[in-house]
Amino acid sequence: MCRIREIPFSEIHIIKPLWEGLNRMHLADSPYFKDQYASFTFERRVADLAAKSADGLRATVLEDGVGDAVGYCVSTIDGNSGEIDSLYLDERMRGRGWGKALVEDHLAWLRGKGAKKIKLAVSYGHDEVLEFYHKLGFYERLTYMELKER
C-alpha cells in the first residue's frame, strides 16, 4: 500500500531520481530549450529551493509498499503567494489518483499557511498534463516567454 510522507529538506535527495525523470520528460517535450534541460541538475534545483525559508517549503514523497519513492511534490510559499513547484509520479503510478492526492495535500498546506494566490508552471510542450491540472482547478492565465540565447 502506498503512502504520502512529508520529508524534511535534509532528505530532499530522496526525490533525485524522480526529479531527474521529470527533467528528462521536459527535455524530450521542449521544442526550444533542450540545452537548458540537458544542463539543469538536481543540485542546482536544490540550491534554488534552499534559498526558501524552512517554513515556506514543503516536500512530500509517495512511497510504495516497500518504502521506495515513486512520486513527490514540492511546494513553496512566500507571503500570501503559494506555488506547486514540482510534481512527478513514476509512470506506473499515474492514473491511480496519487497525483491528485499529492496536489490536494499541498493545496491544503498552502491554504493553511495563508496563500491567497496559488500557481504552478507547466513547461512549454508538456501539454499532456494540462487536463490533469484543469481538473484540479488550475487554468492558463498568462503565457510567459523567454528569450532563447543563440
Question: CB of 73 within 8 A of CB of 87?
Answer: yes
Other CB atoms within a 10 A radius of the CB of residue 133 amount to: 17
Three-state secondary-structure class, residue 82: strand
For 107-149, the pLDDT digits (tens) are 999 999 999 999 999 999 999 999 999 999 999 999 999 999 8
- Give the torsion sign (CA, 97, 126, 110, 59): positive
pLDDT digits (tens, 9 = 90+) for 2-61: 999 999 999 999 999 999 999 999 999 999 999 999 999 999 999 999 988 788 999 999
pLDDT of 52: 85
DSSP string, 49-76: HHTS-GGGEEEEEEE-TTS-EEEEEEEE
Collapsed DSSP state (helix, strand, coil) of residue 144: coil
Set out the domains of the chain in order of their start, with CATH numbers. 3-135 (3.40.630.30)
Mean pLDDT of the residues in the chain:
96
Instruction: Please tell me the number of Cα atoms within 13 Å of 112 on its side-chain side.
Output: 11
